[in-house]
Amino acid sequence: MKEILGIDIGGSGIKGAPVDLKKGEFATDRLRIETPQPSKPKAVAKVVAELVKHFKYSGPIGCTFPAVIQRGVALSAANVDKSWIGTDAATLFSEETGCPVLVWNDADAAGFAEMTHGAGKGRDGIVIMLTFGTGIGTAVFHDGKLLPNTEFGHVEIRGKDAEHRASANIRKEKGLSWKEWTGRVEEYLQHIEMLFTPDLFIIGGGVSKKHEKFLPLLSGIRTEIVPAELFNDAGIIGAAMAASGMKG
């Protein structure tokens, strides 16, 4: 198939668009719907079905989810309702939409897209993609191969999960200036740098569109650091790409 529907489920919004797989870009404008609160499985599945109906789509669907995902099952729920833990998300979405659905960790999907069509294309060594949004997602690649479900947004910094100090959401909640927030991001990146000695950091998530406000302030990072080229579209594109091998 040339076009596959990609859906990106986040703590605040659920976004989707048909993706042109050859070009690695949206085939039409995306649609964003607020994530239901509380974000329980059935409620989220109904929004996924609403996106499918909006695009009049039938066929394989690639869907991201902000959790550790193993064979379609959510094993964690950091920024969504805890009732997701143990839920077979792939089966739930398939039953709600009538389409085969592949579910993937959100940062892994975004990283996959960036490694194929974006800032990581052609790069070997250790590449770490970090998505700053409601939380902090991570995707780790070695010579282009993904190590799934790393979840390094939960490493401890000053007694808290890193994402509770340095996510884009925390910057807004705490009213932090760009300089103040960047200091927190730098401390986190230095910790990741110390643990893994990466060759490249790719900074993604919605905040990547404003990279000129904070990347130049990251003076204490040895590793090369670049903004994502696909910005916050990477999750949708990566999910669609991952689902391209499914039958439907």
Same-domain pairing of 238 and 216: no
Q: Is the peptide bond before 38 cis (omega within 30 degrees of 0)?
A: yes
pTM of the entire predicted model: 0.94
Same-domain pairing of 17 and 77: yes
Same-domain pairing of 222 and 240: no
Estimate to the nearest angstrom the gap between the alpha carbon of 164 and the chain centroid: 17
Same-domain pairing of 27 and 81: yes
pLDDT of residue 246: 77
- Could you give the C-alpha distances from 7 to 30, 42, 211, in angstroms and in order? 9, 16, 24
Same-domain pairing of 90 and 139: no
Same-domain pairing of 63 and 132: no
* pLDDT tens for the chain, residues 1 to 248: 689 999 999 988 999 999 999 999 999 999 999 999 999 999 999 999 999 999 999 999 999 999 999 999 999 998 899 999 999 999 999 999 999 999 999 999 999 999 999 999 999 999 999 999 989 999 999 999 999 999 999 999 999 999 999 999 999 999 999 999 999 999 999 999 999 999 999 999 989 999 999 999 999 999 999 999 999 899 999 999 999 987 55
pLDDT of residue 248: 54
117 within a domain of the structure (yes/no) = no
pLDDT of residue 78: 81
Domain that holds residue 169: 122-229
pLDDT of residue 247: 59
196 within a domain of the structure (yes/no) = yes
Q: Which CATH number does the domain housing residue 158 bear?
A: 3.30.420.40
207 within a domain of the structure (yes/no) = yes
114 within a domain of the structure (yes/no) = no
184 within a domain of the structure (yes/no) = yes
154 within a domain of the structure (yes/no) = yes
Same-domain pairing of 27 and 80: yes
116 within a domain of the structure (yes/no) = no
68 within a domain of the structure (yes/no) = yes
Domain count, the chain: 2
**Residue 130 burial by Cβ neighbours in a 10 Å radius (0-12, 13-18, 19+):** buried
pLDDT of residue 79: 85
pLDDT of residue 19: 98
Same-domain pairing of 138 and 73: no
Q: How far apart are CA 124 and CA 136, in angstroms?
A: 23
Number of H helices, E strands in the chain: 7, 15
